[in-house]
């Protein structure tokens, strides 16, 4: 295992991300809502750059107490989306949201002073 | 703990290049040694609407040509369209990004953009189809379908196929006008890069109608392929009950091909045109396996409904060709293996990407299947298509 430099913390603003090539691995490092998350940049579907797509919140169907359908809204869960086919991953867990048994490999992120590193 | 030097880059949504977008595809191509064997994509697409200014000039009728050119800048007007977003509300980034793309080859932009994704995936030859025109079958005016088909086919032959040997096509057949369909085969059958003719499936003309027999005969005589390219029509009365695109798409892309296949078989067309090569495109695979069982079961009780048949429906269906995409990927791979066996995948199945559409497949969807040997993989990825389309079997791609 080694620590791979990602960015100065002051350069990686909340909502931003970096793609780190660590040896033969590509890792997406996200800074979102005050936390850092790092996942393999290879989509579990067909190998697309999973961490390089848009970030978007989950979509929620609004149901009334009588179970009738009212409409849709965005939820509170942030997803990042593989730009090839739209596979969506939960940024907090790396789980594929359509089948949470499937998860991207997660990496540890450490902060040393003002520097952010990913451990891989 | 070591602190080796890492390569770090931001994610940039303000630029786009196909080789960059498909960098992981090129890595797969190198890792699997695609450079050593032929890969043919039997179903890929361009956005012909980006070239409508050129295409419309080929419309023969001056009234329609003026109408088309006048409405060229609007999404409605001369041509029909369908509701349904390829980009999934911006989740698929290449739809918007393609405007920023700068192809490496300085021929027609369509050629350059096509060659870029072909090389990244490891594809040697691609059969190119239109995108918005897949819905032209639902146009309320048959004359417009015929005029647009002729204009597009001439444009494609003159501007694209004549200039790039790695791109071929099965040309659009204006099936709502049987005379125009016949004339299309007559006019374009011997043109460079034309490997067959394509019927867009969402339509309400029965394939067994007598008016199509001379067209089938002519395609059979030419040794070309007749293909049925699936699509959806959300205005179809059954599909209109669906409220979400996923439903209209998943059902629509099977539904129309199931209807056409059923009519094709029960009306004995395989017996009437025994040498006609028929291909079913973009319905996935499970529909065929399902329909084989369904038709065989009914046929054995109702042979009098299909007196031209000398064998079970499934036996005719196993002699037709199928494109792979969008290939179902069940968790239990034995189900997929059984499907491959039923449709005789070794000789009848042809890989397709459907790129750049939202549900495209890479060659690895076939190459990585655990139950296929190397020979079967190569047949499905390109060997069978090379024979069917009469292509040189020497790889010509340049994987970046």
Q: Please say if the pLDDT value at position B3 is more than 70.
A: no
Q: Give CA–CA dist B15/A41, Å, rounded.
A: 19
B337-340 — which CB contacts under 8 Å span 24+ positions?
A: B337/B371, B338/B289, B339/B285, B339/B286, B339/B288, B339/B289, B340/B285, B340/B371, B340/B372
Question: pLDDT digits over B349-378, tens only?
Answer: 999 999 999 999 999 999 999 999 999 999
pLDDT score, position B85: 81
Q: Say yes or no: A5 contacts chain B, CB-CB below 8 A.
A: yes
Chain B nearest-CA residue for A54: B91
pLDDT score, position B2: 56
Residues 68-107 of chain A whose Cβ lies under 8 A from any Cβ of chain B: 81, 83-86, 88
Do A116 and A36 form a contact (C-beta atoms < 8 A)?
yes
Listed in sequence order, the residues at least 6 apart from B73 whose beta carbon sits closer than 8 Å to its beta carbon are: none
Domain region containing A87: 3-119
Identify from A19, A20, A70, A84 which residue to disrupt to test chain B contact, counting B C-beta atoms within 10 A and taking the largest count.
Answer: A84
- At the second CATH level, the architecture of B31-389 is Alpha-Beta Barrel (3.20)
Residues of B in contact with A52 (CB under 8 A): 11
User: A76: pLDDT confidence band, cut at 50, 70 and 90?
Assistant: very high
Q: Please say if the pLDDT value at position A1 is more than 90.
A: no
Is the CB of B11 less than 8 angstroms away from the CB of A5?
no
pLDDT score, position B266: 98
User: What's the rounded mean pLDDT across residues A71-100?
Assistant: 98
pLDDT score, position B179: 98
Listed in sequence order, the residues at least 6 apart from B336 whose beta carbon sits closer than 8 Å to its beta carbon are: B285, B327, B328, B329, B330, B369, B371
For chain B, the average pLDDT equals 96
User: B72: pLDDT confidence band, cut at 50, 70 and 90?
Assistant: confident
Listed in sequence order, the residues at least 6 apart from B199 whose beta carbon sits closer than 8 Å to its beta carbon are: B173, B175, B207, B226, B227, B228, B229, B260
Pick from A73-82, B35-44, B65-74: least confident? B65-74
**Domains: count for chain A:** 1
Listed in sequence order, the residues at least 6 apart from B348 whose beta carbon sits closer than 8 Å to its beta carbon are: B318, B319, B320, B321, B322, B384
pLDDT score, position B240: 96
pLDDT score, position B75: 63
User: What's the rounded mean pLDDT across residues B320-330?
Assistant: 97
User: B394: pLDDT confidence band, cut at 50, 70 and 90?
Assistant: very high
Q: Give CA–CA dist B116/B398, Å, rounded.
A: 9
User: What's the rounded mean pLDDT across residues B28-54?
Assistant: 97
User: What's the rounded mean pLDDT across residues B9-20?
Assistant: 94
Residues of A in contact with B27 (CB under 8 A): 47
pLDDT score, position B81: 87
Identify from A15, A48, A83, A112 which residue to disrupt to test chain B contact, counting B C-beta atoms within 10 A and taking the largest count.
Answer: A83
User: What's the rounded mean pLDDT across residues B247-252?
Assistant: 96
pLDDT score, position B105: 84
Do A88 and A55 form a contact (C-beta atoms < 8 A)?
no
pLDDT score, position B106: 80
Pick from A25-34, A68-77, B7-16, B31-40: least confident? B7-16
Across the interface, which of A4, A18, A46 has its CB nearest the CB of B365? A46
Identify from B1, B14, B19, B24 which residue to disrupt to test chain A contact, counting A C-beta atoms within 10 A and taking the largest count.
Answer: B24
Do B256 and B250 form a contact (C-beta atoms < 8 A)?
no
Minimal Cα–Cα distance from A9 to chain B, Å?
14
Starting at the edge strand that comes first in sequence, how are the strands of the sheet with A88-90 ordered?
A55-63, A69-81, A88-90
Across the interface, which of A5, A56, A86 has its CB nearest the CB of B3? A5
Q: Give CA–CA dist B193/B154, Å, rounded.
A: 12
pLDDT score, position B345: 98
A105: DSSP letter: P
Residue (of B201, B177, B158) closest to B43 by Cα position: B201
pLDDT score, position B74: 67
pLDDT score, position B86: 84
What is the residue extent of each domain of chain B? 31-389
Q: Give CA–CA dist A99/A89, Å, rounded.
A: 10
Identify from B91, B249, B365 which residue to disrupt to test chain A contact, counting A C-beta atoms within 10 A and taking the largest count.
Answer: B91
The CATH number assigned to the domain holding A23 equals 2.102.10.10
Is the CB of A46 less than 8 angstroms away from the CB of B2?
no
User: B1: pLDDT confidence band, cut at 50, 70 and 90?
Assistant: low
Listed in sequence order, the residues at least 6 apart from B128 whose beta carbon sits closer than 8 Å to its beta carbon are: B44, B45, B46, B114, B156, B160, B167, B168, B169
Do A51 and A19 form a contact (C-beta atoms < 8 A)?
yes
Across the interface, which of A17, A20, A53 has its CB nearest the CB of B93? A53
Q: Please say if the pLDDT value at position B100 is more than 90.
A: yes
Is the pTM above the cut of 0.90?
yes
Do A81 and A67 form a contact (C-beta atoms < 8 A)?
no
User: B123: pLDDT confidence band, cut at 50, 70 and 90?
Assistant: very high
Is the CB of B7 less than 8 angstroms away from the CB of A20?
yes
Reported residue count of chain B is: 400
Is the CB of B94 less than 8 angstroms away from the CB of A54?
no
């Amino acid at each position: 295992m080694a620590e791979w430099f990602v960015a100065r913390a002051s350069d990686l603003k909340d909502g931003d991300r970096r793609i780190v090539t660590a040896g033969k691995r590509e890792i997406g490092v996200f800074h979102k809502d005050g936390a850092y998350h790092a996942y393999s940049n290879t989509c579990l579907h067909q190998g697309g750059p999973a961490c390089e797509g848009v970030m978007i919140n989950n979509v929620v169907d609004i149901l009334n107490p009588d179970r009738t359908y009212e409409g849709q809204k965005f939820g509170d869960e942030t997803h990042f989306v593989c730009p090839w086919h739209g596979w969506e991953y939960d940024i907090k867990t790396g789980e594929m949201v359509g089948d949470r048994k499937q998860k991207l490999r997660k990496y540890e992120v450490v902060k040393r002073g003002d520097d952010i590193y990913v451990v891989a | 703990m070591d602190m080796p030097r890492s390569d770090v880059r931001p994610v940039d949504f303000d630029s786009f290049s196909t080789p960059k977008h498909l960098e992981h595809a090129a890595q797969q191509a190198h890792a699997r040694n695609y450079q050593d064997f032929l890969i043919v994509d039997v179903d890929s697409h361009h956005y012909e609407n980006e070239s409508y200014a050129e295409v419309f000039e080929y419309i023969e009728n001056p009234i329609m040509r003026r109408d088309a050119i006048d409405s060229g800048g609007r999404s409605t007007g001369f041509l029909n369209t369908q509701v349904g977003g390829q980009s999934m509300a911006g989740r698929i980034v290449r739809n918007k990004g393609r405007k920023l793309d700068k192809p490496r080859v300085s021929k027609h932009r369509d050629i350059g953009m096509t060659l870029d994704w072909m090389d990244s995936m490891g594809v040697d030859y691609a059969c190119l189809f239109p995108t918005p025109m897949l819905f032209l079958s639902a146009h309320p005016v048959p004359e417009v379908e015929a005029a647009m088909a002729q204009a597009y086919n001439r444009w494609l032959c003159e501007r694209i196929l004549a200039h790039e040997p790695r791109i071929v096509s099965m040309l659009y057949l204006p099936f709502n006008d049987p005379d125009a369909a016949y004339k299309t085969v007559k006019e374009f059958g011997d043109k460079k890069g034309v490997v067959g003719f394509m019927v867009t499936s969402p339509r309400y003309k029965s394939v067994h109608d007598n008016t199509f027999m001379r067209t089938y005969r002519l395609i059979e005589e030419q040794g070309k392929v007749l293909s049925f390219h699936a699509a959806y029509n959300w205005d179809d009365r059954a599909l209109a009950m669906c409220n979400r695109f996923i439903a209209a798409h998943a059902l629509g892309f099977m539904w129309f091909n199931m209807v056409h296949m059923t009519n094709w078989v029960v009306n004995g067309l395989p017996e009437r045109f025994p040498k006609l090569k028929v291909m079913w495109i973009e319905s996935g695979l499970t529909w065929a396996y399902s329909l084989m069982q369904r038709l065989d079961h009914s046929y054995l009780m109702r042979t009098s409904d299909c007196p031209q048949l000398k064998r079970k429906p499934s036996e005719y269906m196993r002699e037709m060709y199928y494109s792979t995409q969008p290939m179902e990927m069940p968790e239990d791979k034995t189900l997929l293996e059984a499907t491959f066996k039923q449709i005789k995948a070794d000789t009848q199945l042809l890989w397709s990407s459907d790129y750049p559409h939202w549900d495209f497949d890479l060659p690895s969807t076939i190459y990585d299947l655990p139950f296929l040997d190397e020979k079967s993989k190569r047949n499905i990825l390109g060997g069978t298509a090379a024979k069917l389309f009469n292509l040189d079997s020497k790889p010509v791609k340049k994987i970046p």
